[in-house]
Structure 1
Amino acid sequence: MQTTRTIPTNETERLASLFKLDLDYTALNDTFKDLSFLAAKITETEISLISFIDSYTQWIVSRFGLEIYQTPIDDTVCQFTLGEEDHLEIEDLSKDQRFVTKDFIGEPMNLKYYLGVPLKSSNGLNIGSLCVIDNKLHGKLSDEKIEQLKIIARQIIARINDASSIRSLQNQLRLQTDTYKKVAHDIRGPIAGIIGLADMIANDTDEYHKDELQNMVGMMGKSGQSVLDLADEILRSSLDKLNCAAEVFNLKIFKEKLDKLYQPQAFNKQINLDIKVNIAFETIQIKKDKLMQISGNLISNAIKFTPNNGNIKVQLDLFLETNQKTLIMQVQDSGQGLSQEAINEILKGTAESSNGTIGEKGYGFGLPMVRKLLNELNGEMSIESKIGQGSCFHIKIPSV
């Protein structure tokens, strides 16, 4: 009996498309709550969910009729929607052999009807789902209503792509701002020197008596001052733009988001997940770029390979230099541990998947995606581990 989906050959590309969007799963409900409500009303179902699915988890970012925020991928119906080009409709979940052992079939949920429409990335890969669910038998939806759900699904992706485009423009603005600052800095010194030289010549009346020369020097000083004022204006303008564009993100906010996302997963295995930050640096602003995806995959992986009643410690810190901030992150678990051979395979990207401590299905995509994301950010990963004594993943990401 098949209880998990068949993994497609393009799963790596699918996950890359999802992570490229750099979604914050804790902050999307307001963006989509009108669409989840609309989907339920159109189909006259009790429940509607909008979710994105990575290698470990279905992240439910908007919901109507059911207060659920995440679920392991193996315990979902939407994992099978990922394999559909158009939609997946199941009239009675209790009679589908893939789900007869799942908790949502029995009390108190008693789910019966399901229809899911895949959410497609810009390159056509399924990265999530819009689904409607009912706890009573429900006849097949009409083609018209299914088409309306597809329109809603396209609107969801359109909003996601719009937000991604805005972030891209903000990043371009930051790069432009850095250029403005460099130009302003580079021209300030030489121009200030010209102004100083002009002042010296203009004030040395014993050596320079010609009115014409003094007029030229005066013009030199005024011209230099004008360029210097322009440099100052560039600096002020670019800093104002940068402050308007930048999303506030720091170690304190980072910790809060990780707690919200991953404490429920840890609780399900009675694992103590302890996330700490260096309070001396917790309010220093950093870039959010890909940090949630990197840390999330590492924590999910640690939960998977840590037995019930185990411990996971996450430490977030910054290393400050004159012109650079480097994020230091450690994820330490009391799990199964790794051999040196396994560590080498992970770092090379050749490690094979394995099941978790309570039989969680291993797909082998989490750590390779961490490596890919780190490469994009010029980051580094090292691993310390011993069999039976847990593992510690060390991450360094410069220029945050």
Structure 2
Amino acid sequence: MSIPIPSNEFDRVIRLSEYDLDYTDLESQFKDLAKLAAKVAGTEISLVNLIDSFSQWSVSTHGLPTMQMPREDAVCSYTIMGEEAFEVKDLTKDERFNNKFYVKDDPNLTYYWGIPLKDERGFNLGALCVMDKNFKELSPEKTDLLKIIADEIVNRLKILLSIQQLKSKMSDMKQNNKRVAHDIRGPLGGIIGLAQVIKEQGKDNSLDEVLEFIQLIQKSGKSLLELADDILSENFQETQKPQINPHTELNLELLKEKLLDMYGVQAKQKGVGLTIDIEGKDLELPFNKNKLVQVIGNLISNAIKFTSSSGKVELKMQLLNKENEQNTLEVQVKDNGVGLSPEKIDEILQGGAKSLKGTGGETGYGFGLALVRHLVIGMSGTMEIKSVPGEYSLFTIKLPV
């Protein structure tokens, strides 16, 4: 059964991507609110869920471990359709949900109540929900409190976004300091060199006062040059191991680990082999993580969706370095799934791709690859697609980092 899709879905997933959230690192941010929601409702379980193009991410939970599930399995996919709370009094009697694993098997849920997490721009980023094995009756007072908790979750997401933007600006300032330092080193070197020449010839010309003045210029110039070197070194030697700022940066090894943590379960659930290889020598070189997980994650989810059980998805990453040019991250995602026709490839690259069913009957939304294309273009990157129908698909993106 296909689930409903919000009319503003493409703008909604773009908005969620702007938060640039690490879904695996948010539990502590909302753990208290998830627990409070369960206590208020009197339920065994509560979830803080964010819903992207393919998946529902339970980023913080009470009564269950954090998890990821296909979007078509999530009750909250219905919750984000509206403005108000969505309630299902008996999941076992609702044909939309009575065959879901969490109803038929452990934890054998019966009751659901959820409220959209709507941000200030009007986009439902996900939902706060409470669930239980037994029927519950929530009073108006309890539902009002749950709405207040949902508002606080959105407020914290807004704060995380503001912090992310501030850190990005600080990173830009740091890079600007480096550029300024590089710019002043050349002229200062020239001044010092000229002063040295005049100093060497000054006695022959008996220019004692000029010589003294030039010596002062030389001394001041050296001090400024040392200051520029301090800015460039940023208090550590270039020979030391590059340091990672976990809030704004990744390296190839950390990116590989994060992608396996986030999407390995999805692949395992479908019986698809997922491998990630990193190439080149710059495995520990830091680079800006801006939206990389959103871009690559959507490619991985899409590949898994269109690969049959026992198939494989292979990802390769490397940093391409050219002297005096910005580093480029190259990512290749290849699957041995259903493949793409030339017409379908053209649709994707033109931004007009339509939704298709996955090999396991997964609902297609038509927004995952559109989001990737949108983000790649916005990051001044490129995307190429090669495919043979019935054999493989290969997506290659290159992003300046």
- What's the TM-score bracket when you normalise by the shorter of the two chains? over 0.9
Question: What is the rounded CA distance, in whole Å, between the counterparts of 1:178 and 1:231 in structure 2?
Answer: 13
Question: What is the rounded CA distance, in whole Å, between the counterparts of 2:185 and 2:121 in structure 1?
Answer: 46
Question: What is the rounded CA distance, in whole Å, between the counterparts of 1:259 and 1:133 in structure 2?
Answer: 29
Question: What is the rounded CA distance, in whole Å, between the counterparts of 1:383 and 1:397 in structure 2?
Answer: 15
Aligned pair partner of 1:209 in 206, 219, 237: 206
Secondary structure of 1:207's match? helix
**Alignment match, 2:347:** 345
**Alignment match, 1:268:** 269
Identity over the aligned pairs, expressed in percent?
45
Aligned CA distance change for structure 1 residues 210 and 278 (closer, same or farther; 3 Å): closer
Question: What is the rounded CA distance, in whole Å, between the counterparts of 1:298 and 1:150 in structure 2?
Answer: 34
8 Å contact from structure 2 (residues 167, 248) kept in 1: no
8 Å contact from structure 1 (residues 47, 63) kept in 2: yes
Give TM-score, length-normalised by structure 2. Answer: 0.92
8 Å contact from structure 2 (residues 47, 130) kept in 1: yes
- How far residue 145 of structure 1 moved from its aligned partner, in angstroms, is 1.6
- How far residue 143 of structure 1 moved from its aligned partner, in angstroms, is 2.0
Structure 1 unaligned segments of length 5 or more: list them: none
Give TM-score, length-normalised by structure 1. Answer: 0.92
**Alignment match, 2:362:** 360
**Alignment match, 1:299:** 300
1:191 aligns with 2:188: yes
Give the stretch that moved more between structures: 149-158 or 34-43. Answer: 149-158
1:173 aligns with 2:170: yes
**Alignment match, 1:155:** 152
1:277 aligns with 2:275: no
1:395 aligns with 2:397: yes
Deviation string 1:272-302 (CA, Å, 9 cap, x unpaired) is 1112222733222122111111111111111
Aligned pair partner of 1:61 in 51, 59, 62: 59
8 Å contact from structure 1 (residues 177, 239) kept in 2: no
1:319 aligns with 2:320: yes
8 Å contact from structure 1 (residues 310, 335) kept in 2: yes
**Alignment match, 1:91:** 89
Aligned CA distance change for structure 1 residues 95 and 340 (closer, same or farther; 3 Å): same
Calculate the aligned-residue CA RMSD, in Å: 2.1
**Alignment match, 2:69:** 71
- How far residue 122 of structure 1 moved from its aligned partner, in angstroms, is 3.1
Aligned CA distance change for structure 1 residues 181 and 248 (closer, same or farther; 3 Å): closer
For 1:191, the aligned partner's letter is L
- How far residue 366 of structure 1 moved from its aligned partner, in angstroms, is 0.6
**Alignment match, 2:100:** 102
Aligned CA distance change for structure 1 residues 245 and 271 (closer, same or farther; 3 Å): closer
1:131 aligns with 2:141: no
Aligned CA distance change for structure 1 residues 73 and 244 (closer, same or farther; 3 Å): closer
Aligned CA distance change for structure 1 residues 49 and 195 (closer, same or farther; 3 Å): same
- How far residue 104 of structure 1 moved from its aligned partner, in angstroms, is 2.4
For 2:321, the aligned partner's letter is L
- How far residue 218 of structure 1 moved from its aligned partner, in angstroms, is 3.0
**Alignment match, 2:30:** 32
Question: What is the rounded CA distance, in whole Å, between the counterparts of 2:283 and 2:221 in structure 1?
Answer: 42
8 Å contact from structure 2 (residues 333, 394) kept in 1: yes
Q: How many residues align?
A: 395
Secondary structure of 1:109's match? coil
Question: What is the rounded CA distance, in whole Å, between the counterparts of 2:273 and 2:15 in structure 1?
Answer: 32
8 Å contact from structure 1 (residues 316, 329) kept in 2: yes
8 Å contact from structure 1 (residues 276, 314) kept in 2: yes
8 Å contact from structure 2 (residues 202, 208) kept in 1: no
Give the stretch that moved more between structures: 337-346 or 229-238. Answer: 229-238
Deviation string 1:116-163 (CA, Å, 9 cap, x unpaired) is 111123311001111110101111x12222222222222222222222
For 2:18, the aligned partner's letter is K
Aligned CA distance change for structure 1 residues 310 and 145 (closer, same or farther; 3 Å): same
- How far residue 229 of structure 1 moved from its aligned partner, in angstroms, is 4.1
Question: What is the rounded CA distance, in whole Å, between the counterparts of 1:125 and 1:345 in structure 2?
Answer: 27
**Alignment match, 2:48:** 50
8 Å contact from structure 2 (residues 244, 250) kept in 1: no
Question: What is the rounded CA distance, in whole Å, between the counterparts of 2:285 and 2:173 in structure 1?
Answer: 22
Aligned CA distance change for structure 1 residues 206 and 304 (closer, same or farther; 3 Å): closer
1:200 aligns with 2:197: yes
Question: What is the rounded CA distance, in whole Å, between the counterparts of 1:213 and 1:52 in structure 2?
Answer: 71
1:384 aligns with 2:381: no
Deviation string 1:321-370 (CA, Å, 9 cap, x unpaired) is 22322111111111111111111111111221111112211111110000
Give the stretch that moved more between structures: 309-318 or 177-186. Answer: 177-186
8 Å contact from structure 2 (residues 55, 68) kept in 1: yes
Aligned pair partner of 2:113 in 91, 112, 115: 115
Question: What is the rounded CA distance, in whole Å, between the counterparts of 1:293 and 1:92 in structure 2?
Answer: 35
Aligned CA distance change for structure 1 residues 279 and 156 (closer, same or farther; 3 Å): farther
Structure 2 unaligned segments of length 5 or more: list them: 238-242
- How far residue 236 of structure 1 moved from its aligned partner, in angstroms, is 5.0
Question: What is the rounded CA distance, in whole Å, between the counterparts of 1:396 and 1:194 in structure 2?
Answer: 41
Question: What is the rounded CA distance, in whole Å, between the counterparts of 2:315 and 2:245 in structure 1?
Answer: 31
8 Å contact from structure 1 (residues 51, 59) kept in 2: yes
